[in-house]
Structure 1
Amino acid sequence: MAPRTARAPGESGLFSIGQVLALLQGDFGDLSPSKLRFLEEQGLIAPERSKSGYRKFSQAHVERLRLILTLQRDHYLPLRVIAEVLAEIDQGRDPVIPGAGPRSASSILSPRRVLGREELQRQTGAASRFIGEAIAAGLLPAAEVFPHDSIAEVTALMKLAEHGITPRHLRAMRVAAERDAELVEQAVEARGAASGSPSGAEDALELAALLETVRGGVVRRKLGR
């Protein structure tokens, strides 16, 4: 199946269902239009409506959805408890997440601002063709909406290109990184199964950082020969 492509939000700054799916499905693969509608029916999310009746989501709606889905996936909270957490947030509080020790909602998720393609180009100075090459190489999401940390990634890619290392040269690196991600996911799942308790995003990030350290050491030793 071809990757879903999202366009940047319109002048209203609002996203369609398709754009929301493009933003979130990379992290939450089981997200679907029916699930979005179900969460709305449960009163957890209340998107705006266009004059023709289509659902429209703001950046705040997207981050609320990210929080809901994270609490479901990583903390196994039922919708009833998630609704209580959201109610406290709506009242201006920063609730402690049940079963997560002293962690609060704000410590689990920080807002993730997204960029349209034109804004990403403007902030990095990258040409549209260069962004397209990075997307074709699998180094950026196949979308017109990008996470804010794409600025650092594109900047790094441009500096590499100045030395003749273009996005197409990095396809093998992307494949290796995806294999690393699969390895991390398997390790986290196995650890959770062995301990009888869920292992979540923190464990995955810790393992990813360890892999980065090992990979960097290998590269430095190779260059030192």
Structure 2
Amino acid sequence: MSIGEVLGQLRVDFPDTTISKLRFLEAEGLVEPQRTAAGYRKYSWDDVARLRFVLTAQRDKYLPLRVIREQLAQWDSSGDEQPGRSRPALVAVGPDGAVPGRELAEPAESSQVRLGRVDLVARSGIDESTLVELERLGVLVSDPPGWYDADALIIASAVAGLASYGLEPRHLRGYRTAADREVGLFAQLVAPLARQSDPAARARAAETARELVALSEQLHAALVRVGLRSTLGR
């Protein structure tokens, strides 16, 4: 198949996929289509299955490319059936390199989800007064005119879980402050790519942001675990 035919296959399940995205995944070594004598890409069904695996891992489990690449390398070395064909369960392993903590919600893309205020409260488990307080503290922000995306649902669900242990919204102000510091730091790394007119550069900026977020989550979780060891007597 040509790259255009592959795009048509994938867009049924991954509507945001672009030719630039496919070229980026090739540049990252996640798929290696054959080339004709004229230099045109030719994809096999195994290539398409491999791309489906990569896109599913990113969309449903938020796995960074590093982890996906490692999984693909394991399948390549073992000689097992292509990952996209065998449909394995995508499970993020623990502190040794994957991305935990995504069980609260599994949106395809944050921008694709639009929830009203009532739906957000119902699906996350928080109450209206908590939502008001989260917005006052800047922990949760709606998109005008009052819609909430998938990340807002993740935040609200996490707050509901923490509330069950007695933590209140006022205790979470530090999370917002820390997140803002990281945004400022990561933006310096991503902005030069995002400002370029080349679609491939913008795709790389999005992937870089995804990787940085995943690594930040791992670092934060590990630091909290280390900090709690003395309390747990370990």
TM-score (norm 2): 0.47
TM-score (norm 1): 0.49
